[in-house]
Chains A and B, each alone.
Chain A
Amino acid sequence: MRLTTKTATLLALVALIALAPLFFPSAFYYRVGALIFVNGLAVTGIVILTGWAGQISLGHAGFAGIGAYACALAPVHLGLHPALAILLGAGVSAVLAWLVGRPILRLKGYYLGVASLGMGILISMVLNNERDLTRGPDGIDVPDLGLRAALKTAGLDLSNGEFWYALCGIVLVLGAWLALNLHDSPTGRALRALHGSEVAARTVGMDVPRLKLQAFVISAVYASVSGSLLALQNRFITPDVAGFMHSVEMVTMAVLGGVGSVAGAIFGAAVLTLLPQMLTVFAEYEQLVLGLVMVLVMIFLREGVVPSILRKLRGTGE
């Protein structure tokens, strides 16, 4: 049963990514697709942290900020190729998550919430204030990844929109595949046991702090790579990427779609990325609708849209 869920999720994802362009009325939809994939990647990290390990974070956008600014700064100051800058950003995020995670993951519930919030705010504050390096709140240009030009010389001529749609789609599938593998690994099972009951997990001899830390670090890397892809795609980034609202957005996407499942979370990312695009005619009411959707889904589809609907389809619980 597990194996089918994993294969089914991946197959459905690949099929959707590959077939959706057939229905695109204009090149604009490649942009929306690429954004959904970038958000989907960050949200997959939240699934691991919140859905499986049961830990809350209100500061994960900070890691997206690190990933994004690594791509803006490392090529200029360190002469790194932007592709390597993605790895550098992921490495820095992982180390920071490891250092910060050790003390703050001892906290529970809202206390963990405020501590992670503080961490995120500190990162965005540094990006805003260290103007000599980051150019401050007005943002900074990001170098070209160069891959599209390389593909062109190799005979594959993609438009900018198509290229980023394809690249982000591939990275998302990879990220989902890794996450689903983790889900079925001994670590993944241990994480989920932890979510069930920390005390019980500790009693049977699990190294609880270590497990939580692993989930925190992995999810930080997902957020960081997603920030890098966003920066490289936009060729420009501002400290907003590390802001509190972006952190909330990540958690909301995951929880709305179904924080326990990768497919659900990616669905949540798709819905929240599309919502503002669908509401442009009623832009005045956008906030109203967004708030209403958040409240209603949490009340009526408590586990998130996808798991709740799957459960209804199956008739009973898993």
Chain B
Amino acid sequence: MSELLQFLFSGVTVGAVYALVALGFTIIYNASDVVNFAQGEFVMLGGMITVFAHAAGAPLPLAALLACLGTAALGVAMNKLAIEPARGAPVVSLVIITIGASIFIRGAAQLVFDKQIHSFPAFSGDDPIRILQATILPQSLWVIAGAVAVFTGLWLFFTRTLLGRAVLATSNNRLAAQLVGINTPFVMTLSFALSAGIGALAGVLVTPITMTSYDVGLALALKGFAAAMLGGMGNPKGALVGGLVLGLLEGLTAGYISSQYKDAAAFLVILGVLFFLPQGLFGRKSTDRV
């Protein structure tokens, strides 16, 4: 019983990391139908900028804020320089562009920072919290709280605010959105700033658990992408649930079946879900346009 609980804690910790990354994907996707494979690099930047700003003397909260703002600015620049000019390109071109951008950011990070592994202290210490013979680190709770907060924020944003609806409208039909007076370039700028900022926030929260280095982005992006697709791309609920399900699957498979094939189990489930629900668990139904 205590073993099961520990497997669940492990799964939730990992799942919350995936969920935070997956949530970052949703805004850009909602605004532009682009899956941004550079999302993992935003997470990396969040961690790395905080590490280096902290090392340069900034207190941790200030360093984290700098990291989020800096990364958000970079997200805006990426939209202006790489995504906007390629509007209307086919999916495969957009995949190449965002992977190209991610390779570029990684290349720049290894020059600007270094190739070592870094970390900074957990926010509330390293003393584990004990619940029924199982333990969880306080930082895991920070990550879970972060994921839930970002999810709630996004959900309110998309359903309750005019701006959020403008983002969705821009995604559905850009021309129509412009006609009803939505400032679509502003919506795109905002989306990239938010996505990058959320990515960086994820990086700040998870670094005390996972550590960071210039090349952590790709693995996180792949897992976050898989989680977002499992839940249904574009839906914050899908990202949260997809991330947690993926993490729990890994934890339980490692605990009860085989740690060697825990990633395999995760991908098998994704393939299975997509077989029955081609739009993921909570995805929008789409119709073919001729």
Contact = CB atoms under 8 A, between A and B. Distances in A.
- What size tier do the contact residues of chain B reach? 35 or more
Interface in B80-116: 81-82, 85-86, 89, 91-93, 95-97, 99-108, 110-111
Interface stretch (B1-9, B129-137, B162-170, B266-274): B266-274
A193 interface: no
A248 B100 CA distance: 10
Given A118-B226, A294-B103, A302 B290 contact: no
Nearest to B109: A287
A288 B107 contact: yes
B260 A129 contact: yes
A290 B233 contact: no
A290 B97 contact: no
Interface stretch (B118-126, B152-160, B275-283): B275-283
Nearest to A286: B107
Contact of B91 (A56, A244, A287): A56
A164 B82 CA distance: 39
A293 B100 contact: yes
B225 interface: yes
Contacts of A42: none
Contact of B110 (A119, A199, A287): A287
B218 to A, nearest CB: 8
A166 interface: no
B21 interface: no
B87 to A, nearest CB: 10
B96 A290 contact: no
B222 interface: yes
A200 B288 CA distance: 10
B264 interface: yes
A125 B35 CA distance: 25
Q: Would you call the interface of chain A mostly helix, strand, loop, or mixed?
A: helix
A117 B222 contact: yes
A285 B99 contact: no
| Max chain B Cβ within 10 angstroms of own Cβ: one of A125, A197, A286, A291 | A291
A318 interface: no
A122 interface: yes
A292 B81 CA distance: 11
Contacts of B49: none
A295 interface: yes
Contacts of B104: 287-288, 290-292, 294-295
A115 interface: yes
Interface in A94-148: 103-104, 106-111, 113-115, 117-119, 121-122, 125, 129
Nearest to A126: B264
- What size tier do the contact residues of chain A reach? 35 or more
A244 B25 CA distance: 20
A290 B107 contact: yes
A298 B97 contact: yes
A43 B194 CA distance: 37
A167 to B, nearest CB: 30
A299 interface: yes
B86 A298 contact: yes
A199 B290 CA distance: 6
A256 B110 CA distance: 25
A291 B100 contact: yes
Given A122-B264, A290-B103, A299-B86, A115 B92 contact: no
A283 B127 CA distance: 43
Contact of B226 (A50, A114, A256): A114
Contact of A103 (B110, B267, B275): B275
B256 interface: no
Contact of A111 (B103, B229, B260): B229
15 contacts: A111-B278, A113-B35, A118-B268, A125-B263, A129-B261, A199-B290, A252-B100, A256-B96, A287-B107, A288-B104, A288-B111, A291-B100, A294-B97, A294-B100, A299-B85
Interface of A: 50, 56, 58, 103-104, 106-111, 113-115, 117-119, 121-122, 125, 129, 197-200, 244, 248, 251-252, 255-256, 259, 284-295, 298-299, 302
Given A114-B226, A288-B108, A289-B107, 7 more contacts: A115-B271, A118-B271, A121-B267, A122-B267, A255-B96, A291-B107, A293-B100
